[in-house]
Amino acid sequence: MDEGVIRASLAAGTRVVNWDPDRKGVDLEEADGIQDMDSRQAELAFGFGHEDDVYRGEEAAFGPATRPSSSTNSGADTRIFIDGFNDVVDGITGGKVDYVDEMTFTVRRLSSVAGPSLSTERELPPDTDLRGSHVLLVDLDPIPDGAAEIVLAGHAGEVFVLDGDLGDYLDQEPGRDSFAVGTWEDDPVAWNLPPAAGDLDGDGDPEIILTGPRGLYAFRHDGTPLRDVLPDAHGLYAELADCAVPPVLVPLDPLADPTPRVPARAAVLVREGASTWLRLFDGAEADISLEIDLGDVVVRSAPVLAFGRLWIAAADTLAGNHRLLACALESTPTERILTFALDQEPGSLVSSWGYEAETNSDRGRWITVISVDGRGETVRLNTDLERTGSNNPWPASVRARSALAASSMVGDGWFGNFGPYGDWEDGWPQRPRPGFAVADTMVAAGPLSASLAGNVLSRPQIIFTAPDGRIFAYGPRGEPEAGWPLAGPGASAGTPALGQLAGDLHHDLVAIGTFARIGAMDADTGEPQTTLRSVVALWHDVAVPAGSWRMWGGSPLRNGFWDAEEGAPPAAGAAGTGIISGSHICYPSPLTGNILYVRARLRGSGRVRAHIYNLEGERVMSTDWRDVPGQSAFDLPVNLQNAVSGMYLCRLEAVADGGAGETSVVPFAISR
């Protein structure tokens, strides 16, 4: 508000307070920082989802979790919520829009929301070690009742199955503490965790599936083995020569809805001699329906089912010819294996995949492989699963330390949500306080994605678990949810899970923790003795059933399949080519360190590079070309360690896949 302009206008009798666009009496400052309403372009399509739309949120509401939100300028949560807007268009007469006389809406203050309350906890038998047993929720009942059971596995062959009240699913025999114990040569199996569940024998009931170093194991809903292969190997379904990766289940029809009651095959990776084999088992007699020789490679992570194929990240530790293999599952494919070279050695974290924002009929697809040091590398594909452009390495600062859930992960003291090529989405990363240390990648809990109970947004929230057990919830743009974090059951032992445990409308949250408890003093050494304590915790009515990622691996089949089309990023602007208006920024400005980030969005996929100039027009430096997806934000790092203090111009050059080019220029400052 410029009261001087207003007073001058009233004194002159003009009542025109906004005639000068550079000095208005009443100015509207938009929350996204882009002057859409004051744009001097002839185009006036400032509504209906256009990139210059004044309000580009997904909901006809303003509140703590919308964009723009109802928080104060300093970020304080006012809890104010505005919705219930009436339709302001009364009709159209002779091509002219008639508006109603009044706009009505509802303004209220939301009550402070407490987080979910802990419903119950249960401690498992002493010295049970659940680390790496990411929680599995599956309805095991022969007649499904809509309530899932909780499946866990220990490091000494144990399989635990609990009901929705954390009681034993089966009445245990005297002296028996677990649902089942897998053995090899009468010794407990050291499982390749976590377990999976699916219908191997085609009877409509899911089995609990695990692998050990020498075998594939399967247990029915009553705890009995699916097969009796060897007398000293309880639960053994099929012998394996050497296996170090957990199983995943693949529906007989790889494009079918991946529910645990759909007939499926167990996909396992086996090392035999100088080769690694992919074998698919199914049926009451463990028939091998498909086997593929992958060559002399090392596979450290479970396969992923995407685009109708099983994707395997293979490391060539001798020659360094690392590759991503896309294996066809049908009996007579046109091409059994599609091979894509990788620049980095794949690690033990499972690959992620998805779709780019829909900008044209040829929708882009991507697969991200995580290296041994946690750095991502994205392979970009077209609808025919052909590589488009070169691989995109993630920024060196973005390193995954947990399993990925669609586009989210846990890193070195932070939680993150990112685009297909490792660029942070708006509002990320989030660094909770107090911080946390990095956990072992096989134990570290991956994120979950779901719409929390009471959520008013169309996009789901993301649930993260810190290694110390705290459970956090954030909105899609990193806004912390009220009432979180929750206090977990001790140091996290793996990824929690969301599911219907009581058969009601909402999903419950199950988390696990394993930590050492100090006991009596050792009589000989005088040192305190410790025993492992494993605890299961349950919170009721945490989320609504809708959600794209509810447990490790996405589902009981554990194969990484999810509704990727539903989870693709929403369009940030109109379709077409070029740079989305107002999206080009440089940060931090002023730059006090060495690395400047050039951030923007393109309407459609293409290539970009940045040029830096001083005010005399001299070019300071330029980046290399980089392939970027359409609609998703990207960051170009620019090393300016040799640049002196002053004002500079950043010229962003973009070339669409179709060949059209566009540039954008913004200023920034350096202060040494």
Q: What is the pLDDT of residues 603-657, one digit of tens each?
A: 888 899 999 999 999 999 999 998 888 888 899 999 999 999 999 999 999 998 7
Q: What are phi and psi of 29, to 5 degrees?
A: -95, 120
Indicate if the pLDDT at residue 173 is higher than 60. Answer: yes
In 3D, which of 388, 382, 381, 331 has the Cα closest to residue 351?
Answer: 381
What is the CATH topology of the domain spanning 585-670? Immunoglobulin-like (2.60.40)
Q: How far apart are CA 444 and CA 134, in angstroms?
A: 9
**Continuous H helices in 521-620:** 564-567
Cβ neighbours of residue 643 closer than 8 Å, sequence gap 6 or more: 612, 620, 670
Three-state DSSP class for 3?
helix
Contact criterion met (CB below 8 Å) for 502 and 509:
no
CB 56 within 8 A of CB 31: no
Average pLDDT rounded to a whole number, residues 340-360: 87
| Mean pLDDT to the nearest integer, 488-510 | 91
**Is pLDDT at 42 greater than 50 in this prediction?**
no
pLDDT above 80 for 341: yes
User: In 10 A of CB 257, how many CB atoms?
Assistant: 10
Is 48 a residue whose pLDDT tops 90? no
Tokens, residue 247: 């199983």
Band (359; pLDDT cuts 50, 70, 90):
low
Confidence at 326, pLDDT banded by 50, 70, 90? very high
Q: Residue 255: what pLDDT?
A: 73
Residue 463 is predicted with a pLDDT of 96
Q: How far apart, in Å, do the first and last CA atoms of the chain sit?
A: 36
For residue 309, the cross-strand partners are: 306, 328
Taking only the tens place, the pLDDT of each residue in 468-491 is 999 999 988 898 888 899 999 999
Q: What is the mean pLDDT of the chain?
A: 87
Residues 6+ apart with CB under 8 A from 514: 128, 129, 130, 131, 490, 491, 493, 532, 533, 534, 535
Report the SS3 class of residue 432. Answer: coil
The number of angstroms, rounded, from the C-alpha of 50 to the middle of its chain's C-alpha atoms is: 27
Helix (H) / strand (E) containing 5:
helix 3-12
Higher pLDDT, 114 or 296: 296
CA torsion 277-283-284-288 (nearest 10°) is -30
Which residues lie across from 338 on neighbouring strands? Answer: 326
Q: What's residue 310's pLDDT?
A: 96
Question: Is residue 447 pLDDT above 90, yes or no?
Answer: yes
Mean pLDDT of 99-103: 83
What percentage of the chain exceeds 90 in pLDDT? 57
Domain ranges of the chain: 1-29, 31-110, 130-296, 403-512+539-570, 585-670
Q: Where are the beta strands (DSSP E) in 199-331?
A: 207-212, 215-219, 236-239, 248-251, 264-272, 275-282, 287-293, 304-306, 309-314, 323-328
Q: What is the pLDDT of residue 5?
A: 82
Phi, psi of 4 (to 5 degrees): -65, -45
**Residue 332's pLDDT band (boundaries 50, 70, 90)?**
confident
368 within 8 A of 376, measured Cβ to Cβ? yes
Q: Are 125 and 533 in contact (CB under 8 A)?
A: no
For 453-468, the pLDDT digits (tens) are: 877 666 789 999 999 9
Query: Cβ contacts of residue 129 below 8 Å, gap of 6+?
Result: 154, 155, 156, 514, 532, 534
Share of the chain above pLDDT 70, in %: 89
- Over residues 260-280, the pLDDT tens digits come to 999 999 999 999 999 999 999
* Res 83: pLDDT: 87
Please determine, for residue 116, whether its predicted confidence score (pLDDT) is greater than 50.
yes
Binned at pLDDT 50, 70 and 90, residue 49 comes out as very low
More confident residue, 254 or 569: 254
The confidence band for 571, taking pLDDT boundaries of 50, 70 and 90, is low
pTM: predicted TM-score of the whole model, two decimal places: 0.80
